[in-house]
Amino acid sequence: MLNLITHISPPRTAMKVFKMLPEGTQCELINRAIYMAPAPLISHQKHVGNLPGQFYNLSKNYLLQKVSLHKLCSSMYSHYKI
């Protein structure tokens, strides 16, 4: 019977550790160091989810103000002939 002894040496660099991590692991290799950020909190996700609506309202209000200003200026200067 043949006994095979396999010797597995521990990784010696951060890049080797990084390559050993399972696919899809949320981490970054920056300046030869591995950084893993925790998952965002539920409150963070709620706030991020509200952003598109806030941007929509902001742009809608901006366009309404712009149109109103245009109407105001048009009525103020309508008696001038250009």
CB count within 10 Å of CB 54 equals 10
Give the integer Cα–Cα distance in Å for 64 and 78: 21
For residues 32 and 15, is the Cβ–Cβ distance under 8 A?
Answer: yes
Please state the pTM of the whole predicted model. Answer: 0.38
pLDDT along the chain (82 residues), means of 10: 62 83 85 85 89 84 68 57 52
Q: Which amino acid is at 43?
A: S
What pLDDT score does 67 carry?
62
Tell me the pLDDT tens digit for each residue of 54-65. 888 888 877 767
What pLDDT score does 74 carry?
63
Distance, C-alpha 71 to centroid of its chain: 39
CA distances from 58 to 49, 51, 54, 63 (A): 16, 10, 6, 9
